[in-house]
């Protein structure tokens, strides 16, 4: 509790202690600082502390004023005092004296930024006391202040804290070069008007901001294009310099300056190349060079300078030229980029390759060629005229097929191509025209054997020259392999079905297989088709339109190896060879004959051809061995009873057919098996044409005609004068019925046989018989018996 009370007491005591105001001091060095407008108090005594010094900071142009109020003198005693203003050097600027109480003012103008001192001094006045108290109040009038002491009041000074003498863009700011334009600084840039060239009193403006002043010569680095940014420095300053080499771009149309600017005026002849700018001969190749060795001939000429990596240096700077390859800017007559050779620059392929000198145009009149490394007269440019396909091989130049081997096959030539038109082949060891490169075109499969095959494989033996190689131990014949199945036949090579007939169907092809995929041995109608009977003619294939003969060419007899054709389609083969089955003797005429010969016309269908059938219209007869007009078939129509009897005088027609009939009366002559009438039916009178029957067997015929007529045919008799063959009991020659008278009459006749009455009946009978026989023979197709 006591401690708390003690603390309170101490606090109160401290609070009651008076805090002194700012007090003056007795010397300038110890002068107290005054504050503008603030009053401070002091006391001076002429008999003691006579002087007080005060100070205040002021700047050039400030009006420094001091107001002093004095007081508190004795009733009958006054006081005298002085007050003055001094600079920091102790020089009095103004002062005044005063006596007794009152307020006095003095003022002075600051001439620099410094401390200004106020002195209050008590002056003895001869009275009792010279002490007085005073209040001092300083006032700074800053209307004419020049804080930076540069001659510009702060009101006019744009840099009132920094001394400067600029007057153009702003006042009182630093102007290093003294040209009136202030230096740029914080808050004041060139764009705002500051001196763009603070160290050059001949330039201050840079309208385009390119660091070149707008003032013309003789000003320093005058901007040739003041309104357009640029950084050229050589021909003119501050103009567009696209390649940044110091030389301005040409401006023929005055785009960037008031006047045109040409290359002839000094503009950059190569405004996009920073290594070139001059072109003495105007050939668009620069005068500068990059090869230090050129200095020997170029230094001192005034043409160009050495520039590292100079672009396209003009080797001939005083002579217009268009060469670009071996050297730049020299005469290039053919315009291919390679300069014409001259005394100092020839074409030497060795030097050209080793040190890139003497690379002149080897073909100065040919724009497509310029180099010829092997000096064979053919240019190395593959796209030029007569290009050398082998620029390093003087024995080769042309490579038609582009395979790297030359067309020249002359003696001594190396790297020669045996296939000048084929880029994948060049060597041909066996000289057969097929290359040895197995991965190339048409590679030779038989490198060491001459061959002309080119279908199944290339360059192997091909005996028949059809393009397919002969088979060998490693290359089998077709169809087992790809070799020629017909090594001796030029028109065939493949045989898919292996039947020995080639698959080539061309018109001229040999034995083309008509059934390529089906084994067959046919060879007559077509080759290589199924042939069941093996006769050479193929089986018909109607489903494929291959019909049997005669409607097609296929085998008409697929199971008969001796027959295949049947032109007339009658079922009999046309093959006439010995051993052939039923050969058709009438190949072009359909027929059914099969007995005498096959396949001929058989009108009566008896098996015998009409040509061989003696009876072509009688199906029951066909043969007539004795040629008598009656068939040999005993079961047939009008069969010959004597089929093998040769008949020369006549053929019987009545009693039996086809037997001998000497008297040709129609009745056959009797023989051992065929007795004469009346025992049988044979001719009873074989030598009498008018008689054949004798019923009564008396030797006279039953025919009423003829000399041997039997007047009594049913009654045997021997009469021969009045009647014949009648009973003649007295054998007088007259019939018993004739009577004696008649007999005598007849006897009286000289020659009864000459009487017409005697011969008339036989004649009639003969005629009738003849007509009958004739008619009968015509009906049977025979001949009329004479």
Residue 747 has pLDDT above 70, yes or no: no
**How many helices (H) and strands (E) would you count in the chain?**
5, 9
Domain spans in the chain, listed from the N-terminal domain onward: 24-141
Q: Bigger pLDDT: 72 or 640?
A: 640
Residue 749 has a pLDDT of 60
Q: Is the Cβ–Cβ distance between 534 and 559 less than 8 Å?
A: no
The chain-wide mean pLDDT, for the chain, equals 87
Q: Which CA distances in Å does 306 have to 241, 289, 301, 319, 366?
A: 20, 5, 12, 19, 34
Residue 501 has pLDDT above 50, yes or no: yes
Residue 138 has pLDDT above 90, yes or no: yes
Furthest C-alpha separation in the chain:
276
Q: Which CA distances in Å does 179 have to 210, 218, 223, 328?
A: 20, 15, 18, 50
Q: Which CA distances in Å does 576 have to 508, 539, 563?
A: 30, 21, 9
Q: Is the Cβ–Cβ distance between 312 and 290 less than 8 Å?
A: no
- List, in order, residues 6 or more apart from 13 with CB less than 8 Å away: none
Q: What is the mean pLDDT of residues 91-96?
A: 94
Buried b / exposed e along 694-704 (16+ C-beta atoms within 10 A): bbbebbbbbbe
Residue 236 has pLDDT above 60, yes or no: yes
Decide the pairing of beta strands 114-123 and 51-58: antiparallel
Residue 9 has pLDDT above 60, yes or no: no
Residue 753 has a pLDDT of 54
Report d(CA 51, CA 77) in Å as an integer: 20
Residue 720 has pLDDT above 90, yes or no: no
Q: Which CA distances in Å does 405 have to 77, 396, 444, 533?
A: 141, 8, 18, 62
Q: Report how far Cα 631 is from the mean position of its chain's Cα atoms.
A: 91
Decide the pairing of beta strands 102-109 and 40-45: unpaired
Q: Strand, helix or coil at 270?
A: coil
pLDDT tens per residue, range 393-438: 999 998 888 888 998 988 888 888 888 888 888 888 898 989 999 9
Q: What is the mean pLDDT of residues 694-705?
A: 88
What does DSSP assign to residue 192?
A: G
Question: Three-state secondary structure along 404-446?
Answer: CCECCCCCCCCCECCCCCCCCCCCCCCCCCCECCCCCCCEECC
Report d(CA 660, CA 13) in Å as an integer: 214
Report d(CA 722, CA 740) in Å as an integer: 10
Q: Is the Cβ–Cβ distance between 600 and 610 less than 8 Å?
A: yes
Q: Which of 348-357, 384-393, 432-441, 706-715 has the lowest mean pLDDT?
A: 706-715
Residue 786 has pLDDT above 60, yes or no: no
* DSSP annotation string for 25-51: BSSSTTPEEP-TT--EEEEEETTS--E
Q: Strand, helix or coil at 349?
A: helix
**2 — pLDDT class (breaks 50, 70, 90):** very low
Report d(CA 669, CA 628) in Å as an integer: 15
Question: Three-state secondary structure along 356-397?
Answer: CCCECCCCCCCCCCCCCCCCCCCECCCCCCCECCCCCCCCCC
Residue 647 has pLDDT above 80, yes or no: no
pLDDT tens per residue, range 149-200: 888 888 898 898 888 999 999 999 999 999 999 999 888 998 899 999 999 9
Of 649, 653, 650, the C-alpha closest to 640 is 653
What does DSSP assign to residue 98?
A: E
Residue 128 has a pLDDT of 60
Buried b / exposed e along 96-135 (16+ C-beta atoms within 10 A): eebeeeeeeebebbbbebbebbbbbbbeebeeebbbbbbe
- List, in order, residues 6 or more apart from 551 with CB less than 8 Å away: 569
- What φ, ψ does residue 648 adopt, rounded to 5°? -115, -25
Residue 675 has pLDDT above 60, yes or no: yes
Report d(CA 709, CA 352) in Å as an integer: 153
What does DSSP assign to residue 507?
A: T
Q: What is the mean pLDDT of residues 210-229?
A: 93
Residue 745 has a pLDDT of 65
Q: Which CA distances in Å does 723 have to 189, 518, 583, 719?
A: 197, 96, 67, 6
Taking phi first (over 0 means left), then psi (-120 to 50 degrees means alpha), and beta for anything else, what does residue 500 get?
left
What does DSSP assign to residue 251?
A: B
Residue 45 has pLDDT above 90, yes or no: no
Q: What is the mean pLDDT of residues 505-509?
A: 91
Q: Among residues of the chain, what percentage have pLDDT more than 70?
A: 91
Q: Which of 9-13, 129-133, 774-778 has the lowest mean pLDDT?
A: 9-13
Residue 785 has a pLDDT of 38
Say if pTM beats, i.e. exceeds, 0.75. Answer: no
**306 — pLDDT class (breaks 50, 70, 90):** very high
pLDDT tens per residue, range 581-615: 999 999 889 999 998 899 999 999 999 999 988 89
Q: What is the mean pLDDT of residues 621-648?
A: 86
Q: Which CA distances in Å does 754 have to 702, 759, 760?
A: 21, 8, 10
Report d(CA 292, CA 783) in Å as an integer: 143
pLDDT tens per residue, range 46-90: 878 899 999 999 988 889 999 999 887 555 557 788 999 999 999
Pick the CATH number of 24-141 from 3.30.420.40, 3.40.470.10, 1.10.1200.10, 2.60.120.380: 2.60.120.380
Q: Among residues of the chain, what percentage have pLDDT more than 90?
A: 59
Q: Is the Cβ–Cβ distance between 43 and 25 less than 8 Å?
A: no
Residue 111 has pLDDT above 60, yes or no: yes
Of 262, 306, 312, the C-alpha closest to 286 is 312
- List, in order, residues 6 or more apart from 339 with CB less than 8 Å away: 315, 316, 321, 323, 325, 326, 327, 330, 331, 332, 345, 360, 361
Report d(CA 306, CA 287) in Å as an integer: 9
- What φ, ψ does residue 483 adopt, rounded to 5°? -70, 170
Report d(CA 744, CA 722) in Å as an integer: 10
pLDDT tens per residue, range 516-548: 999 999 999 899 999 999 999 999 999 989 999
Residue 143 has pLDDT above 60, yes or no: yes
- List, in order, residues 6 or more apart from 301 with CB less than 8 Å away: none
- Whether omega for the bond prior to residue 479 falls within 30 degrees of 0, making it cis, is yes
In a 13 Å sphere around the CA of 751, the CA atoms on its Cβ side amount to: 5
């Amino acid at each position: 509790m006591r401690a708390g009370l003690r603390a309170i007491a101490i606090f109160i005591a401290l609070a009651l202690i008076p805090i002194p105001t700012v007090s003056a001091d007795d010397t300038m060095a110890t002068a107290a600082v005054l504050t503008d407008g603030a009053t401070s108090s002091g006391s001076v005594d002429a008999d003691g502390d006579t002087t007080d010094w005060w100070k205040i900071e002021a700047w050039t142009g400030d009006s420094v004023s001091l107001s002093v109020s004095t007081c508190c003198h004795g009733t009958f005693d006054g006081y005298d005092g002085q007050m003055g203003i001094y600079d920091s050097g102790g020089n009095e600027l103004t002062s005044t004296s005063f006596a007794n109480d009152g307020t006095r003012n003095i003022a002075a103008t600051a001439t620099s930024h410094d401390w200004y001192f106020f002195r209050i001094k008590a002056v003895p006045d001869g009275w009792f006391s010279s002490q007085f108290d005073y209040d001092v109040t300083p006032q700074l009038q800053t209307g004419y202040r020049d804080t930076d002491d540069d001659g510009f009041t702060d009101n006019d000074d744009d840099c009132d804290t920094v001394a400067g003498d600029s007057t153009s863009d702003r006042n009182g700011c630093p102007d290093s070069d003294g040209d009136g334009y202030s230096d740029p600084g914080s808050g004041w840039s060139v764009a705002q008007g500051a001196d763009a060239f603070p160290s050059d009193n001949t330039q201050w403006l840079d309208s385009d901001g390119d660091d070149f002043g707008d003032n013309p010569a003789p000003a320093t680095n005058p901007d040739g294009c003041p309104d357009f940014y640029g950084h050229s420095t050589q021909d003119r300053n501050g103009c567009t310099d696209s390649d940044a080499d110091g030389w301005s771009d040409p401006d023929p149309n005055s785009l960037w300056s008031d006047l045109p600017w040409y290359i002839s005026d000094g503009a950059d002849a190569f405004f996009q190349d920073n290594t070139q700018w001059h072109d003495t001969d105007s050939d668009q190749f620069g005068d500068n060079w990059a090869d230090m060795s050129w200095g020997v001939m170029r230094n001192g000429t005034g043409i160009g300078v050495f520039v590292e990596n100079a672009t396209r240096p003009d080797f001939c700077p005083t002579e217009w030229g268009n060469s670009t390859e071996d050297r730049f800017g020299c005469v290039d007559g053919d315009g291919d980029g390679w300069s014409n050779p001259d005394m100092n620059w020839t074409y030497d392929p060795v030097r050209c390759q080793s040190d890139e000198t003497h690379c002149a145009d080897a073909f100065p009149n040919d724009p497509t060629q310029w180099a010829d490394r092997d000096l064979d007269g053919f240019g190395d440019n593959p796209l030029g005229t007569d290009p050398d396909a082998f620029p390093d091989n003087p024995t080769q130049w042309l490579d038609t097929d582009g395979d790297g081997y030359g067309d020249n096959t002359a003696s001594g030539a190396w790297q020669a191509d045996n296939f000048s038109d084929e880029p994948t082949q060049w060597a041909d060891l066996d000289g057969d025209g097929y290359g040895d490169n197995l991965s190339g075109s048409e590679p030779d499969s038989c490198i060491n054997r001459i061959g002309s095959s080119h279908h199944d494989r290339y360059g192997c033996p091909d005996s028949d020259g059809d393009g397919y190689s002969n088979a060998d131990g490693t290359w089998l014949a077709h169809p087992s392999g790809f070799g020629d199945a017909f090594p001796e036949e030029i028109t065939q090579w493949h045989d898919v079905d292996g039947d020995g007939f080639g698959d080539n169907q061309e018109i001229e092809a040999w034995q083309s297989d008509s059934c390529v995929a089906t084994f067959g041995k046919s060879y007559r109608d077509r080759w290589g088709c199924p042939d069941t009977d093996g006769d050479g003619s193929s089986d018909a294939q109607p489903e494929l339109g291959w019909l049997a003969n005669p409607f097609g060419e296929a085998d008409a007899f697929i199971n008969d190896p001796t027959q295949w054709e049947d032109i007339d389609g009658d079922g009999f083969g046309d093959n006439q060879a010995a051993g052939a089955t039923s050969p058709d003797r009438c190949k072009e005429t359909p027929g059914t004959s099969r007995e005498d010969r096959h396949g001929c016309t058989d009108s009566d269908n008896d098996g015998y051809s009409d040509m061989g059938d003696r009876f072509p219209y009688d199906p029951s007869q066909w043969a007539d061995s004795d040629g008598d007009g009656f068939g040999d078939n005993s079961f047939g129509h009008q069969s010959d009873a004597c089929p093998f009897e040769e008949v020369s005088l006549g053929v019987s027609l009545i009693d039996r057919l086809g037997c001998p009939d000497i008297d040709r009366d129609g009745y056959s002559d009797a023989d051992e098996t065929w007795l004469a009438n009346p025992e049988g039916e044979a001719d009873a009178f074989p030598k009498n044409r008018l008689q054949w029957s004798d019923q009564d067997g008396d030797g006279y015929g039953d025919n009423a005609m003829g000399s041997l007529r039997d007047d009594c045919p049913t009654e045997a008799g021997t009469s021969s004068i009045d009647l014949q063959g009648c009973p003649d009991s007295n054998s007088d020659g007259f019939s018993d019925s004739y009577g004696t008278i008649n007999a005598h009459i007849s006897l009286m006749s000289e020659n009864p046989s000459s009487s017409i009455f005697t011969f008339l009946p036989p004649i009639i009978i003969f005629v009738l018989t003849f007509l009958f026989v004739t008619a009968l023979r015509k009906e049977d197709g025979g001949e009329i018996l004479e």
